[in-house]
Amino acid sequence: MKLEKISKVLVIGAGLMGHGIAEVFALSGYHAILEDISAEMLTKAKIGVEKSLERMLKSGKIDQARRDQILSLVSYSQDLAASAKDADLIIEAVPEVVDLKRSVLQSIGKVAKAGSIIATNTSNISISDLASSVPDPTRFLGMHFFNPPVVMKLVEVIRGEKTSDDVFEGIYALSRELGKTPIKVFRDSAGFVVNRISAPEGLYFSILLDEGIAKPEEVDAFAKSQGLPMGVYELMDYVGIDTVVHSMEYYTETLSKEFSRHRVLSDMMKQNHLGLKTGKGFYNWKDGKADIPQATPTDKVQLMDIFAIDVNEAVRIIEEGVAAPTDIENGVKLGLNRPFGPISVAESLTSSEVGKKLEDIATALKCDYFKPAPSIAEGKLKDAIAVRAPAPVKEPASTEIAPNAQATSTPPPVGTDLIQVRREGSVTFVEFNNGRLNLLNKDMLDSLEKTIAALQQDKESRVVVLRGKSGVFSAGAELSQFFSGGMDFLETDRRGQRIFRSLTELRQVTIAEISGYCLGGGFELAIACDIRIASDAAEMGLPEVTRGLVPGWGGTQRLPRLIGASRAAFMVLTGERVKGIQAMNLGLVWEITSPDTLENRVKTLAQKIATEVAPVSAALAKSLIYKGSEGPILTGLEMEAISMGVLFGTDDIKEGVSAFMQKRKAEFKGK
């Protein structure tokens, strides 16, 4: 399926999710029809879309013309047959009631045009079961947006048993086109990925209630002491106790009978103590806020309990072929708004550590569901989280060449979602793409390491430019990552040092194009480059000592060699930032430009180096500068002499001398 075949989208159900999904499509330029049997719901939906766009207008994200354009792309209907007759994609977004969804899907099937794709926005219900309600199951799948759809980046794209490859890959690509971060759910499973991970957490906290192990306010005080914005039971109140109970009942049928242990929650639902929606749940609610009694954080719950439970469920998902580890990690981070997911935790723990914790939980709560998954029990945790995608990933193929693309005999290094790579002639541009601040975390280090390794093999690239795609080079390391202990933290630090050092060992000349924030680890990455050009608005510095840390990726060693011990000591020990002419006077950067001219100036310099500098000479010169400066000067001078001898036998020196004598531009071949 090709994206250009989708132009009109029909969303069935005008609730919060429905009108949010319609707005998402309109924001990306698609004509979205919102259909509902209730005129009142459609009116509320229209007001909701208008208020959302008004907020964007006031915040400066869109202007008046853009607002009007988006509003014109959303239409409202109570006539399903008329709306569906020319819709390319139909998304069912009615409440999570199986019979209701089946009925709606059957109605859609009767009026949808041939070849249209039908998707369900269900968060739990089996796609394969619902597929029996549509005329062509091969063109049916799950497209699960998260609430609120306009804000949340995650979309779970869920494959049913009969979903075709083209439809699955096409909707995945469409989700990316919408500006979302989709994850692939290869196998239809209860809860898919995000809700599946949180399901055993719900069971854990439900059993704590039933057994009277800790009071809700004590558990919530513990949760908030760990930096969570909302307590566990406060969140249940907010979502709705009835919603939680219905989910537990569904998991009882689909995952394990153990999920039937929700006596307290069931009693609350019977008493209509549903939380926010009725004003009373675990807490009394007023004006959208819970009145939570003051309490001492419980010592009956440990953070590692939750980590182990999450890791266990992630491993089960992998074992069942539901999703790949990377998608599980991204799904939990984006869908549950967490700084890291279970795969990051698993990378820092051993099978025995996780297995022992799970056995202890299973015994204490008398719940077999918490026992270790087979891979953990067999000591194969690391093998499980290292698997590739459970099914082949078929990206849309294309034989077309972009109009201005320059053909090369070898392809440029392949980038990732976090680091995008492209080559223009002999200049390779490496763009960081990890959110607005381009924070450096384990995933970014993985991507950077792979990119540098690929560049080491790329003989056609002569200059590498590092830049931040968002206009920010990098604001530093992501401090919210999970580390199991001091040694884990130490090894991550050593790894960053090795990766940054490998930049100095590249044969290519490296240029850091510095804009916006260039702080901490981002600054250390920049000073590992050969040349730095910055905008006069860029802010550079090492704030680590103000966080209780020290620069750990080479800052305390490279900076003194770059600008001298006294100046480096001031920057490191105060954490103060510098920019503009001060940065150039200190020797941090070679040149300062305006933000508007930075990109063109760096590109011009990179192209000049790529065409005028002999590649072998540049590679040897880099080695002399970095390796020679680490030893006695006599050793460095000897290395210099040896390099001259090596260069004497190259084709490039002959070309360089010949071009000089003939007063023409040299054409170096790197030989």
Q: Active-site residues: which are they?
A: 524, 544
Residues 155, 165: Cα–Cα separation, whole Å: 18
CA dihedral sign of residues 406, 411, 413, 416: positive
Enumerate the H helices of 216-320 as residue ranges: 216-225, 232-239, 241-254, 263-270, 303-319
Side chain identity at residue 259, one-letter code:
F
Please give the single-letter amino acid code of residue 144.
Answer: H
Place of tokens 């020196």: 653
Is omega for the bond preceding 148 within 30 degrees of 0, making it cis? Answer: yes
> Which of these, 327, 86, 349, 317, lies nearest to 189 by C-alpha position?
317
Residue with tokens 């790197």: 670
Placement of tokens 């939990």 in the chain: 332
First to last CA, the chain: 46
Q: Which residue spans within 522-668 are E strands per DSSP?
A: 531-535, 539-541, 591-593
d(CA 532, CA 445): 21
Tell me the one-letter amino acid at 363. T
The DSSP symbol for 396 reads P
Of 135, 107, 100, the closest CA to residue 121 belongs to 100
H and E: helices and strands count for the chain:
28, 18
Across the beta sheet with 154-158, the strand order is 74-77, 31-35, 8-12, 89-92, 117-120, 140-145, 154-158, 181-185
- If residue 105 lies in a helix (H) or strand (E), which one and from where to where? helix 98-111
Which of 328, 324, 374, 396 minimizes the C-alpha distance to 176?
396
Least Cα distance to 232 among 252, 213, 250, 251 occurs for 213
CA distances from 393 to 194, 216, 322, 388, 472 (A): 21, 44, 14, 10, 32
Cβ–Cβ under 8 Å, residues 339 and 478? yes
What distances in angstroms separate CA 580 from CA 22, 120, 519, one per listed residue? 45, 53, 15
Q: 161, 145, 281: which is closest to 209 by C-alpha?
A: 281
Strand 427-432 relative to strand 419-424, pairing: antiparallel
Buried b (16+ CB within 10 A) or exposed e, 128-143: bebbebbebbbbbbbb
CA angle 152, 157, 160 (to 5 degrees): 150
Is residue 337 a contact partner of residue 398, using CB atoms and an 8 Å limit? no
The beta strand positions in 500-647, using DSSP E, are: 509-514, 517-519, 531-535, 539-541, 591-593
Element holding 117 (H helix, E strand): strand 117-120
